[in-house]
Structure 1
Amino acid sequence: MNITPLQKKINHNILIKNTIIIICTVPNDNKSTHLSIAKTLITNKLAACVTILPNTHSIYYWENQIQKQEEIQLIIKTCATLEQSVFQYIKTKHPYQIPELLTLKITNGEPNYLLWIYNLLN
């Protein structure tokens, strides 16, 4: 990727503050919920990249019982300004009553990758 002089003016700290990762799990139930969510986030420019990790397992309490669920984890790379839009969309499509939606702040990153996310989504 070639960076133009204008792009070089974007401060690395601004790119770090602007970039977030959202973690979400969906059930591994062969309904392709994970693909639908990922493709829509990308198509609508709500995320630059969604990494899909199959065959994860979660153990948790739900309704006073220990549950075990085979799941698929989505790692969503996006901008902080799009966080609530991503949450809102996933909540409308997610089969869980309370979906796992966690935001991780970036402390550092490869400058060209952060710039790619910024340019794609802004």
Structure 2
Amino acid sequence: MDRLGSRCSLPGYLRPSVLICLLILTAAFLMYPMLRTLSLQLHSAITGSYVSGTHAIVFVNCPNEQIARDIARAILEKKLAASVNILPKTSSLYFWKGEIEEATETLLLIKTKTSKVLMLSSYIRLVHPFEIPEVFSLLVDQGEVHYLKWLEEGMED
């Protein structure tokens, strides 16, 4: 037995070197997502490529086009998004309070940074007339680099 192991007088205790290895592995495991994100951002900055998941498209249904326009303008003014498409007259069928409902709604396609989706969702809940507004997002996997750069510039404070 080596000298370090002989210092542990009680059987079943881990050697200090094993404890250190476990701590390092645990720290690496916990820090992996952050380190991965940082390395992807560094790679993106050096190569000019796009980091998948940096942007999102948020879908929001509104009861009519005027409310959709009002919400879209407010979102843009608050720099919560860089671009909003308004798709008028979408037909929606859904369950509401145990019944199948049918409505004509207006769909917003909101282009934003993933880091702003939570703030955007909270804001929409405050201003939206629906009791439970439809708000969900999809991550952008790939896109035209110049357009995505333009999106970034549109949301700068």
TM-score range, shorter chain: 0.7 to 0.9
Q: Which AA in structure 2 matches 1:26?
A: C
Considering Cα pairs closer than 8 Å and 6+ residues apart, tell me whether 1 or 2 has the greater RCO: 1
Cα-Cα RMSD: 1.6
Partner Cα distance (1:37, 1:10) in 2: 37
- Gapped runs of 5+ residues in structure 1? 1-7
Matched, 1:51 2:88: no
Structure with greater strand percent: 1
Pairwise CA distance, 1:18: 1.4
State TM-score, norm by structure 2: 0.67
Find the counterpart in structure 2 of residue 18 from structure 1. Answer: 54
Say which of 108, 111, 118 aligns to 1:84.
118
- Gapped runs of 5+ residues in structure 2? 1-44
Find the counterpart in structure 1 of residue 108 from structure 2. Answer: 74
Q: Is the 8 A contact 1:18 1:118 kept in 2?
A: no
Partner SS for 1:17: coil
Partner SS for 1:90: helix
Pairwise CA distance, 1:13: 2.9
State TM-score, norm by structure 1: 0.85
Query: Following superposition, which runs of at least 4 residues in structure 1 exceed 3 angstroms of deviation?
Result: 8-11
Find the counterpart in structure 1 of residue 68 from structure 2. Answer: 34
Say which of 75, 84, 95 aligns to 1:61.
95
Find the counterpart in structure 2 of residue 110 from structure 1. Answer: 144
Q: Is the 8 A contact 2:95 2:101 kept in 1?
A: yes
Pairwise CA distance, 1:19: 0.8
Query: Percent identity at matched positions?
Result: 32
Find the counterpart in structure 2 of residue 5 from structure 1. Answer: none
Q: Which has more radius of gyration?
A: 2
Structure with greater helix percent: 2
Q: Which AA in structure 2 matches 1:18?
A: T
Pairwise CA distance, 1:12: 2.4
Q: 1:114 to 1:98 in 2, by over 3 A?
A: same
What is the count of residue pairs matched by the alignment? 112
Q: Is the 8 A contact 2:72 2:84 kept in 1?
A: yes
Partner Cα distance (2:75, 2:46) in 1: 28
Find the counterpart in structure 2 of residue 3 from structure 1. Answer: none
